[in-house]
Structure 1
Amino acid sequence: MATKKREAFSRRTVEFRSGDSSCTAWLYLPTQKDDQPLPTVVMGHGLGATREMGLAPYAERFVAAGLAVLVFTYRHLGDSGGEPRQLLSMARQLADWDAALAYAESLPEVDRQRMAVWGSSLGGGHAIRVAARHPELRAAVAQCPFTDGLASAAALGIKETLVLSRFVARDLVAAARGKEPVTIPVAASAGQLGLMTAPDALPGMLALLPADHKWVNQAAARSVTSLIRYRPGRSAKAVAAPILICISATDSVAPPARTERYVRQAPRGDVRLYDAGHFDFYLGEAFEQLAADQTEFLVSHLTAAPKASITPTAKA
């Protein structure tokens, strides 16, 4: 039997066009008695993951508070389109965010003047960058955000990064020849090959998997070059909207000191540190605290009377 909480909203699977393919998403809508358009949150996931991995509990909290929520999976991953598979391209993922916002704005249920973005891990870095590119947004949330590819590579280790570079070279040759990508694990045990090899990385990712979801723990090796060059934290100073940045004080993936230096530059930033690891943010007491803080923040900024419309401007 469905709980009362679940009866308070609906969720349906939707699809929207992005670039040369499409993204698959969940659209959450609260049960309401009228047809008034709703304040809306667009949500994106982390490195090499899919929307099934830890995002639904947050979305359910937001929709229970009266917000519409669109949770999408980037192209090349999960049940979204895009070839080759398992490619992590920062440019393409940012284009997916733009497409997700445009799709949400086209829906009759959505109030396009009251929209926010929410991202976690790599998605948290994207949320910062997207908020800087879209001044029309009313709010943003960046959770344990990836803010600097060079800093994350240093945290991985010079030796490990050099080993990855050999696979990158092989994959670039494969791409030039039109062959299938040479892949590397997204998360691996310490001392093994992978994009994330901190002790909590692989068990942390596996803990997010629903029983019926099959996750492909692989990324095209060429993705490393895109990740290392990506420094979305630099965009924090250009975010006009209120932005809540939730930092793991012990983050093993996104170095917290570098992240904090970046996000303290956000003009309307609300920076909060939590004594929980990067992958603890999705579970247990840490999740409960984060979900409560983020719901309060989003509701406070999205349910106020809308301001004068701002013409959307997407910046490179």
Structure 2
Amino acid sequence: MNTPRDDVWFNSGSDRISAWLYRPEGNDHAPLLVMAHGLGAVRTMRLDAYAERFRAAGYACLVFDYRNFGDSEGAPRQLLDIRMQLQDWTAAVAYARTLPGIDPDRIGLWGTSFSGGHVIATAARLPGIAAVVSQCPFTDSIASLGAMNPLVSARITALATRDLVGARFGASPVMVPTAGNPGEIALMTAPDAYPGFLKLVPDGTELRNEVAARIGVKILPYRPGRLAAKVPCPILFCVCENDSVAPSGPTRRYAATAPRGEVKLYPEGHFEIYVGDAFERVIADQLEFLARVLPTG
């Protein structure tokens, strides 16, 4: 009898990536969804809720933490590097294709927030991806930075510059909070950001609410939504209409360029989609989409 979840490891670069592997019962040639979280977040922040529902519907899931985060190896800790995270996605897909009982030709990607952009970029450049779900995705750095308080943005830029200079001389990273209240210095400071971020943290769990500040500068060229036009497989964009972190307008425009793109809209903010009634609606839409484009049979 299959266990609901196993702890597994795979290599990315010189580090080991920690992951959960969910296997559905009664399916020895199952499609698999590779899954990871958003900006500074780890898999324990509600990704198990999604994976359990996908598993119940017949999908295997590989849910991983990026290098430098969570239970994965890598140093310095809390260093968010876009290039490395995209490499982690490539390594995860390669590992998934070697797993016994998994159909290597039916590998899908599921990403949310910052990883919602990563799955667009990964599907655009990695051959053979069967389907993509991109939830409340970060698609455009300019749009997201434009939604920030200019004074906060300026302070983050200063911290990022200090971090980059220090890194050249081997200094420890300068940290900046991932989420904070309005007016505080943090990467996400919309009114719903800090309480929404905390809602994702399991009771009794301590979470490092910080990342190396250099991402505040290095994020500028990253506009993964522009790659939607190059995603050949079916891709579902689950867009929050009142998204204060990843504005919906640019995402909807990018989604319209995807050859096999579909869009579902939700009248919620960025963090509401993970819990409660909004979660139930989004997971139902994702399962309906997957049943059509990546059937389990």
Q: Deviations over 1:242-281 (max 9, x none)?
A: 0000000000000111111111100000011111111011
**Which aligned pairs between 1:56-205 and structure 2 lie closer than 5 A?**
56-205=48-197
Structure 1 position 303, deviation (Å)? 2.0
Pick from 12, 19, 29 the counterpart of residue 23 of structure 2. Answer: 29
The residue number in structure 2 matching 1:311 is none
Q: Deviations over 1:272-296 (max 9, x none)?
A: 1111111011101100011111012
Contact 1:186 1:217 in 2 (8 A): yes
Q: TM-score with structure 2 length normalisation?
A: 0.97
**Which aligned pairs between 1:261-300 and structure 2 lie closer than 5 A?**
261-300=253-292
Inter-partner Cα distance in structure 2 for 1:20 and 1:156: 36
CA 1:230–1:168 in structure 2 vs 1: closer, same or farther (change >3 Å)? same
**CA RMSD between the two structures:** 1.4
* Identical counterparts, % of pairs: 49
Inter-partner Cα distance in structure 1 for 2:75 and 2:100: 31
The residue number in structure 2 matching 1:310 is none
Contact 1:9 1:63 in 2 (8 A): no
Structure 1 position 150, deviation (Å)? 1.4
- Which of 37-46 and 127-136 deviates more? 127-136
The residue number in structure 2 matching 1:46 is 38
Structure 1 position 77, deviation (Å)? 0.8
The residue number in structure 1 matching 2:13 is 19
Q: Deviations over 1:161-216 (max 9, x none)?
A: 11111111211122111121010000011000000000110100100111243210
SS of the aligned residue for 1:156 comes to: coil
Contact 1:46 1:120 in 2 (8 A): yes
Letter of the structure 2 residue corresponding to residue 209 of structure 1: V
Structure 1 position 79, deviation (Å)? 1.1
Inter-partner Cα distance in structure 2 for 1:170 and 1:207: 31
Contact 1:135 1:241 in 2 (8 A): no
SS of the aligned residue for 1:101 comes to: helix
Contact 2:11 2:17 in 1 (8 A): yes
Inter-partner Cα distance in structure 2 for 1:94 and 1:48: 14
Inter-partner Cα distance in structure 2 for 1:214 and 1:75: 19
Listed as ranges, the gaps of 5+ residues in structure 2 are: none
Structure 1 position 9, deviation (Å)? 5.3
Q: TM-score with structure 1 length normalisation?
A: 0.91
The residue number in structure 2 matching 1:237 is 229
Letter of the structure 1 residue corresponding to residue 256 of structure 2: R
Inter-partner Cα distance in structure 2 for 1:106 and 1:21: 19
When the two structures are aligned, how many residues end up with a matched partner? 297
Structure 1 position 135, deviation (Å)? 3.4
Inter-partner Cα distance in structure 2 for 1:12 and 1:56: 12
SS of the aligned residue for 2:239 comes to: strand
Structure 1 position 226, deviation (Å)? 2.2
Contact 1:53 1:208 in 2 (8 A): yes
Contact 1:114 1:303 in 2 (8 A): no
Letter of the structure 2 residue corresponding to residue 11 of structure 1: R
Structure 1 position 38, deviation (Å)? 0.9
Pick from 220, 224, 227 the counterpart of residue 228 of structure 1. Answer: 220
- Which of 250-259 and 205-214 deviates more? 205-214
Contact 1:185 1:219 in 2 (8 A): yes
Letter of the structure 2 residue corresponding to residue 20 of structure 1: S
Letter of the structure 1 residue corresponding to residue 177 of structure 2: P
Letter of the structure 1 residue corresponding to residue 54 of structure 2: F
Pick from 226, 246, 249 the counterpart of residue 241 of structure 2. Answer: 249
Inter-partner Cα distance in structure 1 for 2:88 and 2:217: 19
Structure 1 position 158, deviation (Å)? 2.4
SS of the aligned residue for 2:111 comes to: strand
